Chain A
Amino acid sequence: MRLLPPVSVEWNRLAPSRWSGTWLSPWDIAAALLVVGFVVLFALVSRNLVSPLASLPAEPSSLDPRLLPEYALRTSLRMLIAMGVSLLFTFTYATWAAKSPRMGPLLIALLDILQSVPILGFISITVVFFLSLTPGRMFGAELAAVFAIFTSQAWNMAFSFYQSLRTVPDELTEAGRVFGLSAWARFWRIETPFAMPSLIWNMMMSMSGGWFFVVAAEAISVGHTTIALPGIGSYIALAITERNMHAILWAIGAMLVVILIYDQLLFRPLVAWARRFRIDQQEGDDEPAPPWALLVLRRSKLMDRLALPFQTAMRWSYRQKPPALATPLPQGPSRRIASDVLWYGLLAVAAAAALWQGWLFFGHEISWHELQEVLLLAFFTFLRVAVLIALASAVWTPIGIYVGLRPRLTAIVQPIAQFLAAFPANLLFPVAVSLIVAFQLNPDIWLSPLMILGTQWYILFNVIAGASAIPRDFRDVAAGFQVRGLQWWRRIALPAVFPYYITGAITASGGSWNASIVAEIANWGDRTLEARGLGAYIADATTKGDYAHIALGIVVMAVVVTLVNRAFWRPLFRYAERKYRLA
């Protein structure tokens, strides 16, 4: 299998931007307030809706493995639909952000904050709302699940697309304009193709992340409301309730197969196809053999025939005169100032309203004492994430360097690491829980590793990629001057992989926060283990249907994650980029 370059969903948001000098911009504060307003609004709506779900079609009642193919199909269809919605979001939201000088900074700050909101938190506060859209039917539950997956996929895709739109080479844009392409035609013929390679990488990353949440989203209870959609997730939920280890192994097997099929049929062909959009590519770059699925598609001409009507329609659309709206009317300075005042005024009012609404909501329900308690819990979870990332780094960095310097070993280990990162680790939780129960271990400590079970691989495969990218020259220099042992690690290996390691660690850290909601509380049959932490707090509040506390937990986690990113990861990432990036 081919080596994949290091990727991180977090890279885009850390890359230098206009506000790179500022730690927290006014836009961040406005965006944070708007997100709080959104969370509170949904919490209020959800609480006031009568729970309509007494008669949802029953959850799967059988653990017959023969049901699994159908369940797997349903689960992966949900993923695919969510991916479609995410693409739609990406093309509109990111384009708007890139093209509108006025909305851009706010939209990007908003995206950054949204990316810090725990994904299972989204589903906790929106599920009742979605169910109420189609009372008594499955459709609402499907919507809720798709929405949850969407929130795990969309943000980083939009970030990547936004970054690409901002970095289209000037000459290409100019060529498009000189030769008379309309804005619409330039978007599809120049900007989107240019953005394609990095967008596809981000789609793959999103897909990996999505498996984790689709499994969690298919079987969830908020208060008296229970979702149980036919799918692998609910199958596992049932298996856990019935303590059926065989069923769990079957489910793990099914998941493996589904991920492999996605990889072979969808992503490998897509990545190979996207190579043509790479702008820096030279003839004679080590071009791997195209994957079999792409070859079959190309040779059969099936895609050509299917795509023909679409292409014809697009070609027709390029020829249309752009509507008059597309050319902005020149504004006098006074009008511009007036509309600026209006816009900033509106924004300030919206932020103030969100603040007021949040104050009313939380002030009513939450005491100072409780807030302190939640902050303490957040600190516990923070401690867990920090310790685990440090441990995982200490373990995987040397191993990654060792592997990365040996091409043949790399060829074996790298794809496995990437596969493990895509595998929804929550499938393994039952196994871990039964072990903890069997050995009577302390859940405060021993539940913690679950948080990093799936995310540690990002560190490993990024370090491997970094080590295999160390130039031959460096290694010759080291050999020639007899740089060995500690000096070799300190002066050559660690600095060379540092930027890659940071990329991996940032992704692992973000993922672990998200996983804490599932990992700090775990069930096996009627046994429930709970660790003290913010994740468990949100999970508990979700089970009780206590919206004030769900909302509080979500807001606190989003704030903590944003602050950790700004105060720690972003400076570190910039430093690594500046000092250690080769090229």
Chain B
Amino acid sequence: MRENTVLDVRHLRRAFPRPGGGELLVLDDVNLTLHKGEIVGLLGRSGSGKSTLLRLISGLAEPQGGEITYLGQKIDGPPAGIAMVFQGFALLPWLTVFENVQLGLEAQHIPAKEARARALAAIDLIGLDGYESAYPRELSGGMRQRVGFARAMVVNPNVLLMDEPFSALDVLTAENLRTDFLELWAEGQLPIQCVILVTHNIEEAVLMCDRVLLFSTNPGRVTGEIRIDLPHPRNRNDPRFGDLVDRIYVEMTAGRIARAEQQRAGLRAGIGMLLPRVSSNLISGLLETVAAEPFNGTADLPDIASDLQMEIDELFPVAETLELLRFARLEGGDIVLTEAGKRFAEAELDERKRMFRRRLLVHVPLAVLISRVLDERETHSAPKRRFLDELEDHMTPDAAEDTLRALIGWARFGELFAYDDETGMLSLENPS
């Protein structure tokens, strides 16, 4: 272990008990070492457990296995030298900017006079001068997150944890805040030694981090590590920047494909497949876009993401759904339409519905199960609960609900079966 190791995560495991026995893995065998002076990015889709990892590191939750040491000490409960910046800011609306910033100092037995001076200095540093007596509700989102930063800085933490700190902000504000933060960091003005940044924005990760760890979903595992050696300030138009973004896309889709293969082999029944809640409009829209000029059936994912202003969290589920239904393949950071995908893009609505329906019945085991049950029953209807119970053998109740909801949405588009939310019944009948 190197001298300047600040934080060390070894074989971390986090799981929840499943209602029917057994457990659901959220994080599996995660390793991470954090050194002085670096910013490490955790990049992954939602549900990859990266926020969970952050909460384990901050001592808010306890792992089921493995160990986290901070400066050689095992973590149990929030340690004093680790501070956090939250996605939703987490400011107390009944306290002023100044009082919010002072919150952590009060808890640390800091004498009132010193606390005051330090809070004012942090407010000054982060560019909030003049806003001391404002209430959070009077501030814009960007200003609120600045308060969040000041509140974290003022306790002079060794480690700063950032949980998607810019994702609740608009594009311009986020960029402004990122640049300001990097400037202070590069000038060594921040009282912090290292940073962990959780994000699902690939460009943000390349812009800010020295290393990026890629996370897979279900369970969350580290599937790769990419070192980013570009000098600060980094330029998005630098070709090397673009290459790194591309590389991350490739790795993330590659990791995904390997896992899908595994899933196909392991779960022949396939009921346990998680389905993303993607609307049929998005599916049609992406197919049309990729089929049309200038992509003509093959598109670079980073290109299309920036064209459509979508983050990977939004784009990947759609792309994966296309792949699941064999409308497209994901290859090395590209999305390539299959013949069926091209035909779909050109077809009229009725033909689209027909294709969609057929593909659901071939490639989505849950759709097969539901249609079979509805066919066999005399009433041609069955309660939603019946299928949820079956799904919950494989996933959490929330995931089961989401998966079934996703399929109901697709089935409605493909006119495979109907669903009445009032009675909670799935049926083959069309509404009268």
Contact = CB atoms under 8 A, between A and B. Distances in A.
A29 interface: no
B80 A180 contact: yes
A282 B141 CA distance: 11
A315 interface: yes
Most chain B beta-carbon contacts within 10 A, residue among A172, A178, A279: A178
Interface stretch (A181-189, A352-360, A462-470, A509-517): A181-189
Given A171-B87, A171-B90, A181 B138 contact: no
A286 interface: no
A281 B137 contact: yes
B103 interface: yes
Nearest to A176: B103
Interface string B415-432: 000000010000000000
A318 B103 CA distance: 11
B103 A277 contact: no
Interface string B87-107: 111101111000000011011
Contacts of B58: 174, 178
B104 A179 contact: yes
Contacts of A279: 93
Nearest to A186: B107
The contact size tier of chain B is 20 to 34
A177 B60 contact: yes
The contact size tier of chain A is 20 to 34
A174 B84 CA distance: 9
B137 A174 contact: no
Contact of B55 (A174, A176, A276): A174
A404 to B, nearest CB: 27
Nearest to A318: B106
B94 A277 contact: yes
A299 interface: no
Given A193-B92, A277-B93, A279-B93, A178 B82 contact: yes
Given A174-B55, A283-B138, A179 B93 contact: no
Q: Interface residues of A: mostly helix, strand, loop or mixed?
A: helix
A190 interface: yes
B78 A178 contact: yes
A172 B92 contact: yes
A443 to B, nearest CB: 45
B195 interface: no
A499 to B, nearest CB: 16
B135 interface: yes
Contacts of A189: 92, 95, 103
Contacts of A318: 106-107
B108 interface: yes
Contact of A281 (B82, B93, B103): B93
Nearest to A321: B109
B422 A178 contact: no
Q: Interface residues of B: mostly helix, strand, loop or mixed?
A: loop
B103 A172 contact: no
Interface string B392-432: 00000000000000000000000000000010000000000
Interface string A322-337: 0000010000000000
A327 B62 CA distance: 14
Given A185-B107, A318-B106, A175 B93 contact: no
Contacts of A171: 86-90
A42 to B, nearest CB: 42
Most chain A beta-carbon contacts within 10 A, residue among B60, B80, B108, B137: B137
Contacts of A283: 137-139
B352 to A, nearest CB: 31
A319 interface: yes
Given A169-B88, A276-B135, A579-B422, A178 B60 contact: yes
Nearest to B105: A179
Contact of A179 (B87, B89, B137, B151): B151
A178 B84 contact: yes
A278 interface: yes
B245 interface: no
A279 B93 CA distance: 6
A172 B107 contact: no
Contact of B83 (A169, A176, A179, A277): A179
Interface string A211-251: 00000000000000000000000000000000000000000
A169 B88 CA distance: 10
B205 interface: no
A327 B108 CA distance: 18
A286 to B, nearest CB: 14
Interface in B291-329: none
10 contacts: A169-B88, A169-B90, A172-B92, A180-B108, A182-B107, A189-B92, A189-B103, A190-B92, A283-B139, A579-B422
Given A178-B59, A180-B107, A277-B94, 7 more contacts: A171-B87, A171-B88, A172-B90, A174-B55, A178-B78, A179-B155, A278-B93
Interface of A: 169, 171-172, 174-182, 185, 189-190, 193, 276-279, 281-283, 315, 318-319, 327, 579
What 10 pairs across the A-B complex have the smallest Cβ distances?
Answer: A179-B104, A180-B107, A171-B90, A175-B90, A193-B94, A178-B84, A181-B107, A277-B94, A171-B86, A171-B88
